[in-house]
Structure 1
Amino acid sequence: MKKKVVTFGEIMLRLATPDYLRFNQSNQLTATFGGGEANVAVSLANYGIEASFVSRLPQNDIARACVMDLRKYGVDTSSIVYGGERLGIYFLETGAVARASKVVYDRAHSSIADIKPGMINWKEVLKDAGWFHWTGITPALSQGAADACLEAIRTANEMGVTVSCDLNYRKNLWKYGKTASEVMPQLVEGCDVLLGNEEDAEKVFGIKPEGFDASQTEGEVDAAEFESVCRQLQARFPRAKKVIITLRGSINANHNTWSGVLYDGKELFTAPTYNITHIVDRVGGGDSFMGGLIYGLISYPEDSRKALHFAVAASCLKHTIYGDFNQVTVEEVENLMKGDGSGRVSR
């Protein structure tokens, strides 16, 4: 199998208040870049996998800075197309203890929101790829973005490229007259690997875990309760050979439990649960899981359990790193998988 991974979606300028300050308290904002599919590409590049990020960006200095940032991490940006008015922005206020984090989007009329089918030559982009990844954020941006995403998925299917999707439901993004329930099924039908959580499955497809209240936000989450979600998703989308659910228990803004399950149609694999007590930055946590999962499924193709364990450990480490990108190595993830979570100084 070819190991090159292509991801497609929006990358934004992230402007975050420092030191847990609220928006109205801070007179400074820290600038970084991030976005679901770009975050996955950075993770994979850090693990030594050839990763290419595809998007549409404006021709200005902010976009150039963004591309330079991606290149710094070893991500191939040669398939990015240019045009449109602006790079999207999101503002982040990091929560603490009982106060939740807040995100304010300023991404209307971004370059990728105005993308149209035919702007990207997908046969050329995917010719050396073994894997294509997208998230539910992209088709939420506009009809054009949804159409371009469908064009990419169908091309990947024709070319025998594995397709993965992180369902990533964001209710505040679906603004152009269609709902996720109307748009997503046609796209997900072309996917070989599906990732989501209980809210994604319920809000997009009306699929609920048996015996679980999706409004639950505290404490431990029982992995076995989610086998029914995996079975229902696989029944709805039979192309999907693997369905993965991330399991987050939110005790407070700084203290989460984190795990996941993987269902391959025959067996439900469960990962250890990590108790993350001092979260530095949880934005990009799901993307770091997906990056770890893709790496694991490529590197350990016959060992779904190990791939899942790698994804959960990688994402656990992301919660200790500021910014959207998970800047960890394979060795660091594998050390955590072996039980070395002491945080002792490496000399």
Structure 2
Amino acid sequence: MKNPHYDPAKPHHTPDGFRNRYPHPHPGGDFWKWQRERRKSGLPKPPTLDLSCIAPNLTAVHQPPDVPQLTWIGHETLLLQIDGLNVLTDPVFSERASPLPFAGPRRHQPPGLSLKQLPHIDLVLISHNHYDHLDKASVRALMRQPGGAPMFFVPLGIDHWFARNVRGTRLSGDNPNVRAFDWDDEANFGPFTAHFCSVQHWSARGLYDRNQTLWGSWALLHPRLRFWFSGDLGYSQDTRDIGARFGHFDVAAIAVGAYEPRWFMKAQHIDPTEAVQVMQDIGARQAVGIHWGTFALTDEPLDQPIADLAAALKVADVPAERFALFKHGETRVWDAAAQRLVTALPKEKARPRDDSLAAQSLSGR
């Protein structure tokens, strides 16, 4: 398939897709070798720690305080709330991260907030097209949310996927609701300036579309908060470039899970030690771990990042509170004076939730 966005003046463009900005070695083996080895060893082992959701602070979510606020819904789905605007990253609310409803990685617990519990979403940031980041049923549900569709900021090529798969997509005209970004593109959205930044990764949704759409990370700058969302990434010069370009971030959401075995994962997923280095590269005052504890994608137990991140912070002599791991459904607010995220107001009394997403909100999958 030819790349409809191809620009021969840009080295990361190819006639049929995209490539990383900095060349890196191919993983030292193949996918099927990894699958055979993990089946033989019975991996991943189940977690030993309780990773279940806490009762969400719905009062804070629907009546946010006059400070920036962040809620971890699960995996790489975060709700960022500032000045009455609600931003969602890589929304995945389905039971499985898979093209099939009956196979593929299954959620270890329901989302920390269900689709019905979300406030009206204004902006959605998509990092790339893997199934644990771009979920058709979830974006379809958001496109038809009461009060009108959000704006979707997506990498190049995913705009065409939206046009084919998501009813209500508008790519042009007076009021588009999906906008495609190349690396280093930027756009304003209300008080935000969004920048799409390169990281080392790849894209595919099938056997024959590898790297036909772009991937990346997002810098979201607001007068009251400088926020970076890593998406998925292997460690590379890219994060040092981001730090040199932007100087610092107040809060960075950085992937910390899905990293074993290193011989296969190193080029595409950072481990906790590299995540701490990324935090330092980009100058993050506070980091939040994402891409862990939700879907069993690789060989380490779902709770292994907890111990490995704690050890990495100790070795790097970084205070543990600077790199937080939320509970699913947890909300914290930005304390600008202390330059860290702190627990939101006491959560309301827990009440039963309807988590039958596949039968209701996601029936259009």
TM normalised by structure 2 equals 0.37
TM normalised by structure 1 equals 0.38
Higher relative contact order (CA 8 A, sep 6+): 2
